A = this chain, B = another copy of it.
Amino acid sequence: MLTSQIVGYLAATLTTASFLPQAILTIKTRDTDGLSLSMYSLFTMGVFFWLIYGIYLGDNAIIVANTVTFLLAVSILSCKIYNSFFKKKSD
């Protein structure tokens, strides 16, 4: 395997895996005050387009990485939307 391929896989694994601890923290604490709604909206759309791009190219690595990231991003975004629009403020 080429060094560039190893670096690419390492990069993809890290950026994909990074959303797991954020999703766990958000689901556990339900604290989304510090999370940007714009960020998670744009990011979730972006990851969806990465997924479409992977399907176009028939590239399994892009498809798998972005399916995982998409599911994690959607779970974080859902908590943020719920807290922003449906939850009664306690203060």
Interface residues of A (CB under 8 A from B): 3-4, 7-8, 10-22, 24-26, 29, 31-36, 38-43, 45-47, 49-50, 52-53, 56-57
**Copies of chain A in the complex:** 2
Knowing A7-B53, A10-B49, A50-B11 touch, does A18 contact B34 (C-beta < 8 A)?
A: no
Knowing A7-B56, A49-B10, A52-B7 touch, does A15 contact B34 (C-beta < 8 A)?
A: no
Q: Does B14 contact A43, Cβ atoms closer than 8 Å?
A: yes
Task: Please give me the 5 A-B residue pairs with the lowest Cβ-Cβ distance, nearest first.
Answer: A14-B46, A15-B46, A11-B49, A18-B42, A21-B38
Knowing A4-B57, A11-B46, A11-B50 touch, does A34 contact B31 (C-beta < 8 A)?
A: yes
